[in-house]
Amino acid sequence: MTEFELSKQRVAEGRESRKAAEMPRLSADEKEALLHRYHPDKKKEAYATIRIGPNQGQQTVHEVVRLLEGESPLTSKAPDLNPAHQVDVLIIGGGGAGSSAALMAQAAGAKVLMATKLRLGDSNTVMAEGGMQVAVSPEDSPVRHFVDSLKGGQMANDRTLLKALVSEGPEVAKWLIDMGVLFDREEDGNLSIRSGGGSSLPRLLRCKDYTGLELMRVLKDAVLNEEIQLLEFSPVIEFLTDGEGTCTGAVLKDLDTDKLIVVQAKTVIAATGGIGRLHIQGFPTSNHYGATGDGLAMSYRAGAALTFQDTFQYHPTGSVFPEAMAGLLVTEAIRSVGAQLLNVKGERFIYELETRDAVASAVIRECQEGRGVETPAGRKGVWLDMPLVDVLHGAGTLAEHFPNMVKQFSRYDIDISKDPVLIYPTLHYQNGGVKIDVDSESTLKNLFVAGEASGGIHGRNRLMGNSLLDIVVYGRRAGKAAAKRASEVDFKPLTLSHLDPFQAAKKAAGVVSETVSPILFPDYVNKG
Amino acid sequence: MTISQSVAITVGDEKHTVPEGMTVIQAMWHLGDAMVKNVGCLGGACGACAIICRLPGQMLPKTALACQTMVSEGLNIRFLQGDPSKKEIAPLPAETPSRETVFQYYPETRRCVACQACTSACPQGIDVMVGVREAMIGDLALVAERFTTCVMCGFCAAVCESRIRPHRMGLYARRLAGAFYPKPPTQLDMRIAEISSGQFDREWNDVMQAAQNA
């Protein structure tokens, strides 16, 4: 028997004796020490200084520096900027934030155009499994939700943004339910809630382990019902400004024809999502194909400041075996119902519902110190003992509550009700992003940013279930605020003149870039 | 690293050799196809990478998602692009829905001849035909439950000889079942009322003050 199989056997043998064992929680000092030593955000050699732009002198990872300092696909003189479309609100991105924004802007009477890189709905939203945090139980409160999120965010969160997030949670849940989102319910009709890492009370609303799919299906259907104008396979490649610090539109590229489409817009909402496909520090990712940080690069070049651009979430439980599943997420919810993490010896090493940054760091520690399990493809991981869930809650629990997990692994002949699976942290979320105010507006006038592309709400570590909430709360806020602004302003000149000072700054700083950004798609053809 | 074996696959009409252990999507990248139209979440949730595929020993092809399908010797693959079935503009009604609400937008649902083609076409393993029959008898809650894992790839509609659009009908039934859930979420309603009445204001003041200083 191989070490791999022996180790798996040890997990099975220890299951009964482990099932009721309590695991001590980390003290604040222990957590800080663990993060400092093992969290990828603390790895100095992965970071570089940004040499130009609003965040000049600050740090982020090499991959994001390359993106921010990248070459524009356009020059200030190049294209004819006659607009093909003139709209009140241009929304870039068709995930949960973009769709929520579109619905609100349209409802406010604005003329809306949505442009998406792939299809409407192709996003990280659709993949979200675990749930959406909303303080609904009588013991809970928005204030408590706030405090949990602040602790989870390493006390760095923008307080004003966070307060709006948690305060609007209940209203937003109602909005979704009224649109037909089917959250799991209790017998009495109340919303069923579950615990998440770092939360002091259960407050995750969910639809089995398909919460994001459910949200996205309904939001997409609502957008289509409203007949909102939609350009699919048309990513934005550059923002347009009036040359005086106001965003005035964008240049899209039709992926079918490679032709450019100029859009003049009174306001623009960037809901462009995250960065997982940049594979920061070589990590696999749980993100969808289009998560290449387009919004970051374009907003930055147009003059919008970023915040917390140096912090990323490595979700503790990304699959590492079989190889074809590397990086795919195993939902945290499975740990909230009792699945345990075990090293090669079959021993637990962390309380499973610590915050994600802490659990990920502990998994990395085990693997770095020789207590990981090696996969046939040479990856390292630790066990996630999912069969324990059925032991604790009765046979069939996994099948009933985690059909997505069951299905995904069964495609590779792994029965998660019988066998543990191997996991390792996977690049999951960009904690920071474009700096916004409480109306979702960036520091570039009339450019609003919502969802994962924005930063500040989650501080240095987002709690599980706060991003589905974020995209809807701030998508709606952005949609409302952008529509209102559009009713107050006129169309302004379309120029690319903001590229000139950016180019000059690069030259002055000696920045030579081989990256054209936004990159739009990961290059798996040439890099394997 | 273990050395991987190669397998022969056919994509469209072209024969290729790729290392085993890859998904069909990974094999396409390996073959130099940058993939834009047939790729999405890469996690089996979005339906963008719908394929039909067949192994040498099989008579008929089966439907699958390319990101969830491993290459294997002799696998014959065809990518399908998009779901051409029409989505009806189907708003939610003001009154409690019935099966007539569904039939109003998707009247063809009543024409099901129980041939099971939709069920056998579903890459998610949903018993689609039973879902259609549940809609015919008007049990929208059952229909909703049935279509929980639907990724809207549209295979079911493509194979239906009665021109039913089960996935679209199923989503509409889900929205109806959600928006008209028979029991209200009382705790949620109470919480919304508490927030708008300012019940947490004092607590907020204390916490915000403490948080600003922290």
Report pLDDT digits (tens) over A313-366.
999 999 999 888 899 999 988 999 999 999 999 999 999 999 999 999 999 999
Q: Tokens in use for A494? A: 């379309």
ipTM of the complex: 0.95
Classify residue B202: in a domain, yes or no. Answer: no
Question: Closest by alpha carbon to A203, among A474, A468, A476, A471?
Answer: A468
Classify residue B40: in a domain, yes or no. Answer: yes
- Kindly state the average pLDDT of the residues A127-153: 96
Using an 8 Å Cβ cutoff, are A289 and A122 in contact?
yes
- Rounded distance, CA B158 to CA B181, Å? 31
Q: Which of residues 224-263 of A touch B (CB under 8 A)?
A: 224-225, 227, 233, 255
- Rounded distance, CA A27 to CA A424, Å? 23
**Residue B129: which domain range?**
99-179
Give residue A129's pLDDT: 85
Q: Residue B1 pLDDT > 50, yes or no? A: no
Give residue A93's pLDDT: 98
Candidates A145, A277, A301, A335; catalytic one: A335
Exposed e or buried b per residue across B128-148, where buried means at least 16 C-beta atoms within 10 angstroms of its C-beta? bbbbbbbbbebbbbbbbebbb
Q: Residue A207 pLDDT > 80, yes or no? A: yes
Q: Which of residues 259-318 of A touch B (CB under 8 A)?
A: 286, 288-289
Q: Residue A212 pLDDT > 90, yes or no? A: yes
Give residue B4's pLDDT: 64
Q: Tokens in use for B20? A: 């085993």
* Domain locations along chain A: 3-38+313-427, 85-311+431-499
Domain at A85-311+431-499: CATH code: 3.50.50.60
Classify residue B212: in a domain, yes or no. Answer: no
Q: Specify whether B22 is located in the same domain as B54.
A: yes
Q: What is the pLDDT of residues A30-73, one digit of tens each?
A: 999 999 999 999 999 999 999 999 999 999 999 999 999 999 99
B34 → closest Cβ in A121, A136, A521: A521
Chosen CATH of A3-38+313-427 out of 3.40.640.10, 3.40.30.10, 3.90.700.10, 3.40.50.970? 3.90.700.10
- Rounded distance, CA A71 to CA A69, Å? 7
A403/B contact by beta carbon, under 8 A: yes
A512/B contact by beta carbon, under 8 A: no
B34 → closest Cβ in A323, A411, A525: A525
* CB count in 10 Å sphere of residue A398: 23
Model confidence band, residue A527 (pLDDT cutoffs 50, 70, 90): low
Which residue has better confidence, B21 or B120? B120
Q: How would you class A116 by CB atoms within 10 Å of its CB: exposed for 0-12, middle for 13-18, buried for 19 or more?
A: buried
Q: Specify whether B103 is located in the same domain as B69.
A: no
CATH of the domain at B115: 1.10.1060.10
Which residue has better confidence, A362 or A78? A362
Given the structure tokens 């939360």, which residue do they identify?
A199
Which residue has better confidence, A359 or B211? A359
Using an 8 Å Cβ cutoff, are A60 and A48 in contact?
yes
**Whether A213 and B1 lie within 8 Å, measured CB to CB:** no
- Rounded distance, CA A354 to CA A352, Å? 6
Q: Specify whether B104 is located in the same domain as B174.
A: yes
- Rounded distance, CA A78 to CA A25, Å? 58
Beta-strand (E) ranges in A9-167? 47-49, 59-61, 85-92, 112-115, 132-133
Model confidence band, residue B201 (pLDDT cutoffs 50, 70, 90): very high
- Rounded distance, CA B61 to CA B121, Å? 10
Annotate A310-344 with DSSP letters as a single string. Answer: T-EEEEEEEE-SSGGGTT-B--THHHHTT-EEE-T
Q: Specify whether B46 is located in the same domain as B116.
A: no
Q: How many domains does chain B have?
A: 2
Give residue B2's pLDDT: 47
- Rounded distance, CA A278 to CA A274, Å? 9
Classify residue B73: in a domain, yes or no. Answer: yes
CATH of the domain at B24: 3.10.20.30
Exposed e or buried b per residue across A427-440, where buried means at least 16 C-beta atoms within 10 angstroms of its C-beta? bbbbbbbbbbeeeb
Q: What is the pLDDT of residues A458-483, one digit of tens each?
A: 999 999 999 999 999 999 999 999 99
Classify residue B184: in a domain, yes or no. Answer: no
Classify residue B144: in a domain, yes or no. Answer: yes
Helix pair A142-152, B201-213: axis angle to 10 deg? 20
